[in-house]
Amino acid sequence: MLMCRDLAGIASDYIDGELTGRRNLSVKMHLMMCKHCRSFIGNLRASTDLMKAHSSSKPDEEFIRRIDERVAEALKTRKPRDGNNE
């Protein structure tokens, strides 16, 4: 029988739909009976969403500026292909 500790060990695979049929089914059965594990799966999803929202909100402006400078410098030395450089 799948215990809460076992479920925590495969929760990430479950979230990503990577578990095979029988294993996936045993997680679903466990979740029907266990509110703590339902909460754990929900929290794992939500904290990952937070990480996603966070990392897409703030590019490092200094890092971007340094690349822009390198690219601008390199573009100056290349001939525009269609005469359209801006």
The footprint of another protein on residues 9-68 (CB under 8 A) is 9, 11-13, 15-16, 18, 36-37, 39-40, 42-44, 46-60, 63-64, 66-68
Please report which residue ranges of 1-86 form alpha helices under DSSP H.
Answer: 4-15, 21-33, 35-55, 61-77
Q: Which is nearer to another protein, 28 or 38 (CB)?
A: 38
Q: Which is nearer to another protein, 26 or 40 (CB)?
A: 40
With contact defined as beta carbons under 8 Å apart, do 25 and 35 qualify? no
Work out how close the CB of 21 gets to another protein at its nearest, in angstroms, rounded to a whole number: 17
